[in-house]
Amino acid sequence: MSPFPQQLIDGYRTFRSQRLPTEQSRYRELSERGQSPEVMVIGCCDSRVSPEVIFDAGPGELFVVRNVANLVPVYAPDGGAHGVSAALEYAVNALRVKHVVVLGHALCGGIRAFIDNIEPLSPGDFIGRWMSMFIKPGEKVEQRDHETMADFTVRIEKAAVFRSLENLMTFPFVRTPVARGELSLHGAYFGVAEGSLFVLDSAAKQFRSVGESQRIGSSE
Ligand SMILES: [Zn+2]
């Protein structure tokens, strides 16, 4: 068996010597009082899109679930093992988070696999099955006339955020606190190359760039 990756040992040592001393009291407090994050983030597994890095979050601040293409399934109390639904149930009903953010991103491999309709990577075709929840029965995802492949890909990456937000509202334990104003749902999109962040203006159904001077949530 090969040894534990050295880069992780080195990274932990850096964490221990640099970050831990400044955060030790916070870790102690979190261990005694438990976590109480106000924000849940549903993001992609992509190694370039770490919510804690993008939002500069410390320990205890974000409750994160990541999966291929940041998808939320439709509410399905069918006895199956649903990882995202379990995390969502805990975040909303136990932690009482105030916000759920679906974080999409550019250059998403899951979306690309879906668009290109790639051959299954294993006999189980787990990616294919997972991505198929993105499509509603009878729905077609096609490149539009005069739409470049790049534009088409971005449109579908953003559509994945819309679909996940839509699916979130199929959960009764999400719908109720949203209706009461106790929980808010948000969409965001991260541009990997520029490190740019776009936040969904749900009224306009458009993603707006978050500039350095711009306040998130301010209406334009
Ligand atoms: Zn992705």
pLDDT in tens, 149-160: 999 999 999 999
> What pTM does this model have?
0.93
d(CA 74, CA 134): 10
57 CA distance to ligand 1 centroid (A)?
A: 20
49 CA distance to ligand 1 centroid (A)?
A: 8
199 CA distance to ligand 1 centroid (A)?
A: 17
More confident residue, 137 or 103: 103
66 CA distance to ligand 1 centroid (A)?
A: 9
Question: Please, which pLDDT band fits residue 220 given cuts at 50, 70 and 90?
Answer: very low
Sheet containing strand 99-105, edge to edge, reads 62-67, 39-44, 99-105, 184-191, 196-201, 206-209
71 CA distance to ligand 1 centroid (A)?
A: 10
Let me know: does 94 contact 34? Beta carbons within 8 Å.
no
196 CA distance to ligand 1 centroid (A)?
A: 15
The residue behind tokens 């975040």 is 91
Residue 139 has pLDDT above 90, yes or no: no
10 CA distance to ligand 1 centroid (A)?
A: 27
36 CA distance to ligand 1 centroid (A)?
A: 27
48 CA distance to ligand 1 centroid (A)?
A: 9
Residue 95 has pLDDT above 90, yes or no: yes
Q: Nearest to residue 103, comparing CAs of 166, 40, 149?
A: 40
90 CA distance to ligand 1 centroid (A)?
A: 23
Mean pLDDT for 125-136 is 89
47 CA distance to ligand 1 centroid (A)?
A: 9
pLDDT of the residue at 191: 97
Mean pLDDT for 75-103 is 97
162 CA distance to ligand 1 centroid (A)?
A: 15
55 CA distance to ligand 1 centroid (A)?
A: 17
Enumerate residues 6+ apart whose C-beta is below 8 A from 128: 113, 118, 120
Q: What is the DSSP string of 75-107?
A: P--SS---HHHHHHHIIIIIS--SEEEEEEETT
124 CA distance to ligand 1 centroid (A)?
A: 20
pLDDT of the residue at 213: 55
pLDDT of the residue at 200: 97
Angstrom CA distances, 90 to 45, 87, 166, 174, stand at 20, 5, 19, 11
140 CA distance to ligand 1 centroid (A)?
A: 21
pLDDT of the residue at 215: 58
